[in-house]
Amino acid sequence: MTDWNIFTGNREPHDDWELPPPPSWRPFNQDVKPGESRRKKRGETFQAKEEEIKMVNAALLLRRPLLVTGKPGTGKSSLAYAVAKELKLGEVLYWPITTRTTLKDGLYNYDAIARLQRLQEVQQQQQANYSQLSWEEGEKQVKEQLKNIEKYITLGPLGTALLPSEKPRVLLIDEIDKSDIDLPNDLLTIFEEGRFDIPELIRIKEEVKTAKVRTAYTADISEEITEGRIICNSFPFVILTSNGERDFPPPFLRRCLRLTMKEPEKEHLIKIIAAHLGEEMVNPDNSGELSDKDLDTLVDDFIAKREDKTLANDQLLNALFMVTQGRISTKDDIIKLLLQDLGQVAEDE
C-alpha cells in the first residue's frame, strides 16, 4: 500500500513532496488527451440509457427543450456533452442559474458604463479639434462611434445558441430550479419564437445595419448581427437540468419534453466505472489492486446505501480511484467518509 499522506499533521514544514497525477475527471490544467478539454471528457464517459436516447432524439426532432430532472451525480449535465460530442455540434454553451439570474443575462450583456466613458473621451477630443474638422469628417466620426457599440455587447449563452447555424447549437441551462420564479415564464416566448432583439442595436439600425459582436464561446468567436435582431434557423438543442427542488408552471412544462434520470442499476454503474477508471483498473498504480469480488462488494454496498441516503456516482468513483491507485484498501474507514450522505450534509449546513 502506498504512503499517500502528504500532510502529516506533525507541524513540521516541508516541501519535499509532489502530487501524483489527478483522476481523469479532475485534470484542470492538463487535458486528459491532447486537444481535449475537461468538459469534453464528460461526453466521452457518459453511458446513455435507452430512455435517455429516445428522449434526446425526440427533443431534436420536435425542436423542444429537454427538462432533465434527477438526483445529484446522475449525469444530467453530462448528457449535453455526450450529445455534442457524438453529433459533432461543437462547444456546449453553459448557462448556470442562480436566484439572481434574469433572461437578459442569458441573451446578452451591454457594458453601458464602459461605452459612456469612451464617448466622453471622444467628445473631449472632438471639442478640442472641432474647428479643424469639416462637416463630412464630423459626420464620419459620429457614425464610427455608433459602430463602436459592437465592442461593448457580448451575447450570453442563450443568445449565442439562437444565432443562425446549419445545425443546432447545444445549450446547457444548469439548475433551472434555482431561478427566480419569473425566469421559466420569461423563457416561454424565446422557446416559442427562437428570436430576440437587442434594443441598443435596433435604435441605430438606420445608421449601423450590421454589427459584429462577441459570443459566449470560450474561443472568443464573433458573429455578425443584422439590424439588431437574432433569429435562429435551427432551434438549439437545449437541456435544462433540475434537482427537483421546485415545481414549474404548466405553460413552461408544456413547451418542454421531460426526462427523469434514474440512478443507475449495478450493470450500468459498472459501465460508468469502467469508462472513468478503465486504465487504472487494468493497470493499477503501485500495489493498488481491485479484484472483481472487491468491485462487486463496493458497488453492492453503494447501491444498498442509496436506498435511504443521497449519494452521487462521483463519490463512488473517488473511493475506487483511491483503491486502484494503491492509496487505501477496500476495508479502509475513509471509504465510509467518502460515501457520506449528501442529504445529511445539507441538513447539517
Distance CA 100, CA 253 (A): 22
SS3 at position 338: helix
Interatomic CA distance for residues 53 and 1, integer angstroms:
42
The one-letter amino acid code at 100 reads R
Predicted TM-score of the model (pTM): 0.79
Distance (Å, rounded) from C-alpha 294 to C-alpha 243?
32
112 vs 83: CA distance, rounded Å: 37
CATH of domain 70-110+147-261: 3.40.50
Q: Where exactly are the structural domains of the chain?
A: 70-110+147-261, 263-339
What is the C-alpha separation between 117 and 123, in angstroms, rounded? 10
Each of the 349 residues of the chain gets a pLDDT tens digit; together they read 667 788 889 888 988 888 888 887 777 666 554 444 566 677 778 888 999 999 999 999 999 999 999 988 788 999 999 999 999 999 999 999 999 999 999 999 987 665 666 556 555 555 555 555 554 555 555 556 666 778 889 999 999 999 999 999 999 999 999 999 999 999 999 999 999 999 989 988 888 888 899 999 988 898 999 999 999 999 999 999 998 888 899 999 999 999 999 888 888 888 888 888 875 554 444 445 677 788 888 999 999 998 888 888 889 999 998 888 877 888 889 999 999 998 764 444 4
Residue holding cell 498504480? 285
Name the nearest CA neighbour of 340 among 298, 307, 305: 305
276, 278, 279, 285: CA torsion to nearest 10: 80
